[in-house]
Structure 1
């Protein structure tokens, strides 16, 4: 099952690379940038860690939604081909 998830994640990136990048890597990069920004500027770590948790959760949910949308398109394509 684990290798199936990795394969489908790679397929997702191959099918829609920009959307996949924006939904999964973008929020995590933003969170890391915010953590670095808070360290450099002396901002409270609680705020930065809270922001990071929210952005990682967003990346997980958005990537899952994008994967479900991709699987649905594949199923519809297979259904039309079988008619």
Structure 2
């Protein structure tokens, strides 16, 4: 990962911490909770693993969309000044 991309992600979390956390960290916590829940209750690991994979994919796509939206708003703000 390049230094520019890391800086962009840090800027995103600093600008909108709640929304960024809900989109990036929330699904990952939910996936981990589902994996632990399936282990504790003896549910098939295939079901919970599929759910975890989908939640990780959702976190990646949602965070990318949120980052693009943030960059667009910042660009529009810079152009209007």
The two structures share one fold, judged by TM-score above 0.5: yes
Cα distance in structure 2, aligned partners of 1:64 and 1:28: 15
* Ranges in structure 1 where 5+ consecutive residues have no aligned partner: none
Kindly report the root-mean-square deviation, in angstroms, between the aligned alpha carbons of the 2 structures: 0.8
Residue 50 of structure 1 pairs with residue 60 of structure 2: no
CA distance in 1, matches of 2:59, 2:34: 15
Q: Secondary structure at the match of 1:53?
A: helix
1:12-66: per-residue Cα shift (whole Å, max 9, x none)? 0000000000000000000000000000000000000000000000000000000
Q: Which residue of 2 aligns with 1:34?
A: 34
Distance 1:79 1:65 in 2: 21
Q: TM-score, normalised by structure 2?
A: 0.98
1:54-82 CA deviation, whole Å, 9 max, x = no partner?
0000000000000000000010011001x
**Aligned equivalents of 1:58 and 1:12: distance in 2?**
18
Q: Displaced runs of 4+ in structure 1, greater than 4 A?
A: none
**Residue correspondences, number:** 81
Which residue of 1 is the match for residue 70 of structure 2?
70
Unaligned runs of 5+ in 2: none
- Once residues 48 and 31 of structure 2 are traced to their aligned partners in structure 1, the CA distance between those partners, rounded to angstroms, is 8
